[in-house]
């Protein structure tokens, strides 16, 4: 596909289709930085808390994705089709 014919918000970006899921890492880091900057009363352990929250969010999303994959590939095919 020619890049000049690409329509943003309608078609996926050419070349980025294989690694789009990696964009979760900067999103999680940004949410953690902003959330901890607003919620912490003191910024003494700021970066440690940001790292911990980022890890929690990433692991939670991985667990949700794994659970949904098991649901779709294992549980749903076992249900009756009636």
User: For residue 79, is it within any domain?
Assistant: no
C-beta separation of 31 from 58 below 8 A: no
User: For residue 25, is it within any domain?
Assistant: no
User: For residue 63, is it within any domain?
Assistant: yes
How many angstroms from the chain centroid is the CA of residue 31?
Answer: 11
Alpha carbon distance 81, 71 (integer Å): 16
Give the pTM. 0.75
Alpha carbon distance 57, 35 (integer Å): 12
Q: How far apart are the first and last CA of the chain?
A: 42
Domain interval for residue 59:
45-73
User: For residue 59, is it within any domain?
Assistant: yes
User: For residue 8, is it within any domain?
Assistant: no
- Total domain count for the chain? 1
pLDDT in tens, 10-55: 877 777 778 888 889 999 999 999 999 999 999 999 999 999 999 9
User: For residue 62, is it within any domain?
Assistant: yes
């Amino acid at each position: 596909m020619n890049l000049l014919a690409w329509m943003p918000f309608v078609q996926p970006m050419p070349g980025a289709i294989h690694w789009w899921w990696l964009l979760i890492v900067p999103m999680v880091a940004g949410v953690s930085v902003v959330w901890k900057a607003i919620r912490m009363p003191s910024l003494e352990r700021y970066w440690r808390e940001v790292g911990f929250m980022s890890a929690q969010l990433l692991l939670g999303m991985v667990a949700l994705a794994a659970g949904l994959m098991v649901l779709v590939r294992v549980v749903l095919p076992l249900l009756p089709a009636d």
